A = this chain, B = another copy of it.
Amino acid sequence: MESLLQRLRQFRDERNWSEFHTPKDLAVSVSIEAGELLELFQWRPDTAPIGDEVKSAVADEAADVLLYLLMLCDRLDIDLEEAAHSKISRNERRYPIESSYGIARSRRKF
């Protein structure tokens, strides 16, 4: 993830776009791109097979979400990878294997 971040910073700074990238606008952008990602699944039954064309579009939109997420975290000096590791650790404690096995709870955090 570090090399992505390096390239993103260079991209942004070479174009002098940093001033437009307020944290709020970057959070707005994450949300917009997440909506575009979701649009690829609109009207598709849960179980519909997903062809190569859709996969490639998902890769594209997922990349946009990640890039804005990285820029947001960079602006706020957040280490996204570390935050994600902490979150997994917390979820491991919150959902012990024994009591969580195979149980679909709605509103469950992954």
CB < 8 Å: which of B22, B69, B102, B108 contacts A62? Answer: B69
A 6-20 contacts with B by CB, 8 A? 7-8, 11-12, 14-17, 20
CB < 8 Å: which of B15, B78, B95, B104 contacts A43? Answer: B104
- Work out how many copies of this chain go into the complex: 4
Is B35's CB under 8 angstroms from A59's CB?
no
Q: Which residues of A does B touch, CB under 8 Å? A: 1, 3-4, 7-8, 11-12, 14-17, 20, 22-25, 27-47, 50, 55, 58-60, 62-69, 71-73, 76-78, 80-81, 83-88, 91-92, 95, 97, 100-110
Q: 4 closest A-B pairs (Cβ-Cβ)?
A: A35-B35, A34-B34, A63-B87, A59-B83
